[in-house]
Structure 1
Amino acid sequence: RETLRLLEAADPWREFTMPRVESGSILAADGKTPLYYRLVKPVHFDPNKQYPTIVYVYGGPHATNVKESWNYQARPWEYYMANRDYVLFILDNRGSGDRGFEFESCTHRHLGRIEMADQMQGVKYLSSLPFVDTIRIGVHGWSFGGFMTTNLMLSHPEVFKVGVAGGPVLDWKYYEAMYGERYMETPQTNPEGYAEASMVGHAAKLKGRLQIIVGYNDPTCVLQHSLAFLRACEDAGTQPDYFVYPGQGHNMMGRDMIHLHERITRYFEDHLKPLRK
């Protein structure tokens, strides 16, 4: 019997040494809701070694990081860091998209509270893996992920030693009304929620190495976010690092995108990886 092959979907990276990308689920902080994660292991993974680990986070509404697609939607930077001997962990917490109204709306009026609790469940899972070096856990995210990165660094300094927060929301009263008030209502009707979610009010809690990266012309997370946080850090005597891309908006474009990822990588190479030495 003769077989005629019309199409073939071969692995385009089969001739390259690529990291292993795995996916699974853990329970949320409520003890019942399954959350999906992506785990990227280093190239030439050795189960007897312990690796520095970076939690990449977004966690906000209408977005999903882990999907049933090619390599569970792993990003090129994750492959790059896996080639530098890092473990990457990505978890879609409650409040993120594509899981129905109840899953996404449970964070209403208190952005950051449930999301943080779920991300810490992810850390609990990471801590159970013998190849994860719990002394060297970092965190990185952009926009809402920058808010989450800063929040995790300030709230759990015993866990997260190094963080890179890009274009972060640092005080929700400065954020665009059509988004912020949809999920938080107004500062007048929800003062407790805004105070809890303001990183400006928690600047004194910074202990690890935190780098904040922004675009000077960002119309989404305007400069008031980062400048107010820096002022609070100066008043509290804490020391974040800060980098501004002149002429750029909320997301870096062109050659600055390469420079950005070099900068993020270098920050973890300089401050996270050496912690075990």
Structure 2
Amino acid sequence: MSLKVLPIPPVPEETARVVRAIFPRGNVLMQLRDTVGTMYVDEAFADLFPTHGQPAEAPWRLAFITVLQFMEHLTDRQAADAVRSRLDWKYTLSLDLTDPGFHHTVLSEFRSRLVQGNAEERLLDLLLERCREGGWLKARGRQRTDSTHILAKIRALNRVLCVAQTMVYALNVLAEVAPAWVRAYVPAEWVERYGERLEHERLPQGEDERTQYANQVGADGWTLLQAVDAASTADWMKTLPAVTTLRIIWEQQFEPREQGGQ
């Protein structure tokens, strides 16, 4: 996915007319857009995208959706449905009423780019900067320093969740395009481990347990990549975007497993 930086469009007139007729006093999301603005611009994420290839969804919009998703405790699928169906979301995101949205996996791919680019805190930093510009947040000397351990925990949790979701995404894609291969090469216990939706609440909360879980996911990912790289596997499967994403993240996050190792 490549990035073509474009100016942020205003709320379409028809969207604004219909939404304001339904919400004459506005609501929280409309007030957020009217008061804070879009908070993000495409240029802030330009370093995370290549310059050539199929155009990506606008990063500013994906970043904003990530914030809305967190505010309303939505899964990726629920957030993608909200983009398609909710008028206040279309208003907030400058979308036409008939905009069909996108596949929910776009959100996990965006988070993967943030992790790969060590940009997990960029959404928060840009939001805080916008709040300071608006006069809604005042600097208080030690605030950021005192919160370092909290940010570190959030970053660790986000990394574990990102790699686990990447594993789930790769397995789901392979199950859709090559079900017979998955039945032959994917261990049965992975169905229980990766079959349910992954959220922060389902991750181990203790540091030792979380480390053990991350190591297990890492080992499983290398097992999957070794199976994909086998000579008996069709070449087209080796270049699937989901497999490529898995490979990139695993090479950055985990030590490679020796062939045939445990």
Q: TM range, normalised to the smaller chain?
A: under 0.3
Q: With the length of structure 2 as denominator, give the TM-score of the two structures.
A: 0.27
- Structure with higher Rg: it is 2
Hey, which of these two has a bigger chunk of strand by percent? 1
Hey, which of these two has a bigger chunk of helix by percent? 2
Q: With the length of structure 1 as denominator, give the TM-score of the two structures.
A: 0.26
